Structure 1
């Protein structure tokens, strides 16, 4: 079962997802052959396009291929001709044209390429119910061919936090789509209160945005309240979560939001924008309560108000914390993600055998 991603060493939710299912699928009975193809996707150079074409051409007729949408949807001229011979499953983490900040012409081109690819393959996998519905409606896909395999999460110890109030953590690459500038602007309105915030994530995906964010922080005189340590993983990231009292995510677009469930797995309440698939990740505790606070996207007043409520109302904090701990017990592990994917792959394998 070959699969393809761009750079599996880069810290991102999509790469973490791909890595975990490559590790988990063998436990469901699949033999996995992993192929990572670097090349600036979704705008690859000639060498990357040629490498992908050669890889697909070498595969035997009827082979089941799980391929990341970052690759497959970028080059329909390479992928679509193989769709009649191979059993292609495209895994879509984020629709290509939905990336924030794209030139409109480029977004339209990526969108058209994605549509051509997804309409040609026998199965598409999305990482949330929202994303599946978006793909079906936007690209006119057969809903029976679009499946959902939600990200899992690894159970972790309950976070000790600091004082239960003041330590905020935002885990997200510093990009316009994650909209950390909204968080900075909102926290500037409560600068009279004691808090600190760590923004953990890549600082190099959009250097201009990162520079602008640093300038914004300095302009508000909050340099001693924010830290931007860059990407973290392993014990370092675990330590950041362990010290957090509240996880914050102010994204403009999010197909799911794995960092939300990573926080909830530690019993950390979440303040997040109610955008796209994020409410699915936040979810509800068994009693129906929300484990944190959801605010409308691009609504500074709502975000400001939510932060002030968090800092000033002990009842909000205690209810959010208890709800987060109850929600923690409901989270599914990565083995369920692998099983969901395995069911899609097995269905294609059975269809191939029937037509052989």
Structure 2
């Protein structure tokens, strides 16, 4: 096979977000399968790049030879509609869509409409689309005009816990209170950390501590607002805004409950990671989350339902037997999740057929 692939992405591939984590693991997996992958950074500022950044990104890709196979992360590709129209016949373009740009929380209606139209137009000129969930596949088919036959679902892989660590979790004594609540997600509006904090404030009468892990620089306005919220709610002695962590799996192993109030997820890799670590989950019925979290492993409430979120946490905090029941179900579900080599194989098989 012609196993050369240009993988184009916006910004810094080393950022610790779910989307960049997927990109890194996919590149590695494809290389393990014999692909020669050339990573190409398209510059900073996506999905709101300056005119100059967008022009340089397009020029980089236009310099590729005829027939080159190029996969472009949707965070950038959704803005490249005019470029895709110019180059779609010459290059074999594959879009990697984590979730449509217009579904980011907090966008003004006019901006969301513009992003939706740009991404819909760009997708007209690709040879294929790779998505990370059935939810995103349905959205692209129903709202963006992409034929189902032109979409491949490559669900993110999940690492299994180290056997020694899992054995310690299974054989060790019950967790000593207060239960440790862990949340992992970049500090943006879409991740709903404000809802989690408001819910925790309703549980002051209970013993617990909470750690919120996630990048604090990508959306500094939201990060600052969350820090202020912690202080205003009087939670400074119980809630820690941890910033990024290199070993998220290791952090999850210290937890008793995983809680993330995302308002939308194209997949939600961290929910799968929590399942793999055997953590009961409290989350929202949003996007692809119901596809990832089975009902026996977690409680899903409506988006922005602070009272419902607090009630679910209260049950897990106060009833260790229920918490254990959900934890066992989470671990069972986690063992059934695909591995990263499965994800890479799914994408590799489809890339081989892109003409």
The alignment's TM-score, normalised by the length of structure 1, stands at: 0.92
Give the corresponding residue for 1:320. Answer: 326
**2:100 equivalent among 95, 100, 122:** 95
Q: 1:197·1:226 contact (CA, 8 Å) conserved in 2?
A: yes
Match of 2:219 among 193, 206, 222: 206
Cα–Cα, structure 1 residues 164 and 325, in superposed 2: closer, same or farther, change >3 Å?
Answer: farther
Residue 44 of structure 2 is aligned to residue 50 of structure 1: no
Matched, 1:255 2:266: yes
Counterpart of 1:30?
A: 35
Q: Which residue of 2 aligns with 1:301?
A: 307
Distance in structure 2 (CA, Å) of the matches to 1:216 and 1:73: 33
Deviation track 1:202-225 (CA, whole Å, cap 9, x = no partner) reads 112222222222222212211100
User: In the alignment, which residue of structure 2 is the partner of 1:4?
Assistant: 8
1:276 aligns with 2:282: no
Structure 1, unmatched stretches of 5+, are: 284-288
Distance, in Å, in 1 between the alignment partners of 2:288 and 2:249 is 24
1:193 counterpart = 2:206: yes
What is the CA distance between 1:298 and its match in structure 2? 1.9
1:222 to 222, 228, 235: 235
Tell me how far 1:243 sits from its aligned partner: 0.9
Residue 165 of structure 1 and its aligned partner are, at CA, apart by 6.2
- Does 1:127 pair with 2:132? yes
Cα distance in structure 2, aligned partners of 1:218 and 1:39: 32
Q: Which residue of 2 aligns with 1:72?
A: 77
What is the root-mean-square deviation of aligned Cα atoms in Å? 1.7
Distance 2:51 2:91 in 1: 23
Of 125, 137, 141 in structure 2, the residue corresponding to residue 136 of structure 1 is 141
Provide the residue aligned with 1:286 in structure 2.
Answer: none
Shift of 1:164: 7.1
Q: Secondary structure at the match of 2:226?
A: helix
Say if 2:254 is the partner of 1:243: yes
Change in Cα spacing, 1:164 to 1:222, as seen in structure 2 (3 Å) is closer
Q: What is the rounded CA distance, in whole Å, between the counterparts of 2:290 and 2:146 in structure 1? A: 24
Match of 1:303, SS?
Answer: helix
Shift of 1:162: 4.4
- Report if the CA contact (8 A) 1:165-1:310 is conserved: no
CA distance in 2 between counterparts of 1:331 and 1:164 reads: 30
- Name the CA distance, whole Å, in 2 between partners of 1:169 and 1:131: 26
Once residues 134 and 249 of structure 2 are traced to their aligned partners in structure 1, the CA distance between those partners, rounded to angstroms, is 28
Give the TM-score normalised by structure 2: 0.92
How many pairs does the alignment contain?
A: 342
User: What is aligned with 1:104?
Assistant: 109
Query: What is the alpha-carbon distance in structure 2 between the residues aligned to residue 141 and residue 3 of structure 1?
Result: 21
